[in-house]
Amino acid sequence: MRISALVLFICISAALRGQSNFDKYFTDKVLRFDYMLAGNSQKTTVYPVGMKEEPFFGGSKTQLLDPFNYGNLKYEVFDAADNTLIYSRGFCTLYQEWQTTAEAKVMERSFYEVATMPFPKNKIKFVLSMRERNGSFSKLYETEIDPGNYFIRKEKPVNASVTKIYYAGDPATNVDLAFIAEGYTADEMGKFRDDVKKMADVLFAEPPYNEYQYRINIYAVEAVSAESGTDIPGERFYVTTALNSSFYTFDLDRYLTTQDIKSVNDYAGLVPHDNIIVLINSNKYGGGGVYNYYSGTTVGHPLSPKVFIHEFGHGFAGLADEYYSSEVAYEEFYPLNVEPWEPNITTMVNFDAKWKKMISKDTPQPTPAEEKYSNVIGLFEGGGYSAKGIYRPEMDCRMKSNSPKGYCAVCREAVRKMINFYIR
C-alpha cells in the first residue's frame, strides 16, 4: 500500500507542476499561426501569413512538451525572456509527402499550413523545424510573437453548429476529436450527425480505443456545403464543398484529402480539439490520414469503417503504412539507412528503440511469413511502401490491409501511449 501511495503522490505532484507551468505561461485560449510551406524536392521556404486568437484550448495542461519525437516537422515555443522551452508538437503535412513525388523534382508548389498552441501570456519565440533525410531536425523559421500584438486577429469564428455526440468531460483530461462535415448540404446535417455517431461507435469497438471510451469527447462540427459529395478529378466530377476535398491526391485515385487547411482549422476552432477527422459524404472507397494534421474518410462505402481506423492510426498515433505492394505516388519515402520515426516499422538501424523487446526468444528474426507465425509479434520484411529493407511487427495489421480484425499488438500499444499522453 505504501508503494501505491508513493506512486500516486509522484503522479499528482508531476501533474500539479505541469499545471503550474501552464498557468504561468498560458491562458485557456489558442494562438493560431498560419503560414505557407513552399519549395520542391530539395528546398523548403516558410512564408508567414497571419495570426489569430481562437477560443478553446483542448490539450493537456500538464503534458506541454511532446515526448514522442514523431513527425517530419515540429514547432517549439520558447519563453522569450529566459529562452525556456514551454510547448512543442511534432506533425506531418501533405507538403512533405508531395516532396517525395516525381512532380516535386520538376516544379515548385506551396501549401497552406496552421500551427496552434495555447495562447501565451508573455512574448514567445516560435521555431519551426523540418526533419532531414538523415533523421535529424534543422530549423526552417523563427520569429518572436508578442501576445499583445494588434495584428493577432480576434475575429468571430465561422458560423456553424456544433453537437456533442459523446462527452466524457474536461477537455484538458480527455481526448477531444473534432469531426468536420465535408460534402454535406444543410438538409443533410441529420445524416452527418448520425454518421459521426456511427464512426465513433466503430472507434469505441476497436482495441485499444474501447479501453478509453469514457475518456474521449466526440464533437460534430456542421460545416455546410453547397453540394453533396467530393471532387473526383479522374472522372471529371466536381462539386462545391466547404473543405474543397478531392480524390486523386498526387494523382492517386483512392487518396482523398483536402489541401484547404485554413478552412479545416477554421471549423475545428469551434471546439476544443486534439485531433481532427474530416468526414466525407461519399460512397466511394478512399481516405487519407496525416499525423497531427487530420484524418479523412468517406462514410458510405462498405469498407469505410476499416478505412477510418487505418487513417486515424496515421492522424492520431503516427502509425506508418505497413503495405508495400499497393500503388503509391512516393519515391524512396524512407531512406533505408535511417530509422523511421514511426513506431510500427523499422529499417533495423535502431531496432532496440522499437518493438524488439516484445518478440519472443522462440521467434526467428527476420520472421518467415508462414501460417504458424500468424498473430505473432516478429520481424516481417515488407512495409513502408518497400518490399525489402523495411520490417513490420506482424504478418498482417489494419495498417497493412483491410483483412485483419484490427491493429497488431505493437500498433495498439502505440495508440495507448498517445491516448495516455492526452488524458494526463
Give 82-129 pLDDT, tens digit per residue.
999 999 999 999 999 999 999 999 999 999 999 999 999 999 999 999
pLDDT in tens, 352-385: 999 999 999 999 999 999 999 999 999 999 999 9
pLDDT in tens, 133-178: 999 999 999 999 999 999 999 999 999 999 999 999 999 999 999 9
Closest listed residue to residue 98, CA positions, set 230, 293, 275, 236: 293
Residue 192: exposure state from Cβ atoms within 10 A (0-12, 13-18, ≥19): buried
CA distance 309 to 276: 13
Q: Where are the beta strands (DSSP E) in 159-269?
A: 161-166, 175-182, 216-222
Question: 272's torsion region: left (phi>0), alpha (psi -120 to 50) or beta?
Answer: beta
Does position 253 have pLDDT exceeding 90, yes or no?
yes
**What fold is seen in the domain 161-319?**
Collagenase (Catalytic Domain) (3.40.390)
Report pLDDT for 12: 45
* Whole-prediction pTM: 0.94
Report pLDDT for 329: 67
pLDDT in tens, 314-344: 999 999 999 998 777 677 789 999 999 999 9
User: Are 346 and 340 spatial neighbours (Cβ–Cβ below 8 Å)?
Assistant: yes
DSSP 385-400: TEEEEEEESSS--TTT
Cell of 299: 462514410
- Helix ranges restricted to H, 167-224: 189-204
Q: Which residue has the cell 506551396?
A: 110
pLDDT in tens, 174-200: 999 999 999 999 999 999 999 999 999
Closest listed residue to residue 74, CA positions, set 134, 142, 127: 127
User: Are 287 and 230 spatial neighbours (Cβ–Cβ below 8 Å)?
Assistant: no
- 3-class DSSP state of 198: helix
Residue 290: exposure state from Cβ atoms within 10 A (0-12, 13-18, ≥19): buried
Share of the chain above pLDDT 70, in %: 95
Cell of 83: 529562452
Let me know if domain 22-153 sits in CATH 3.40.50.300: no
Q: Which residue has the cell 521467434?
A: 363
Report pLDDT for 373: 96
User: Are 147 and 122 spatial neighbours (Cβ–Cβ below 8 Å)?
Assistant: yes
Beta strands 161-166 and 216-222 are: antiparallel
Chain center to CA of 91: 7
pLDDT in tens, 38-91: 999 999 999 999 999 999 999 999 999 999 999 999 999 999 999 999 999 999
Report pLDDT for 233: 98
- 269-283 average pLDDT score: 98
- Helix ranges restricted to H, 36-179: 94-98
CA distance 340 to 342: 5
- 226-241 average pLDDT score: 98
Every domain of the chain and the residues it spans: 22-153, 161-319
User: Are 90 and 66 spatial neighbours (Cβ–Cβ below 8 Å)?
Assistant: yes
| Element containing residue 257 per DSSP (H, E) | none
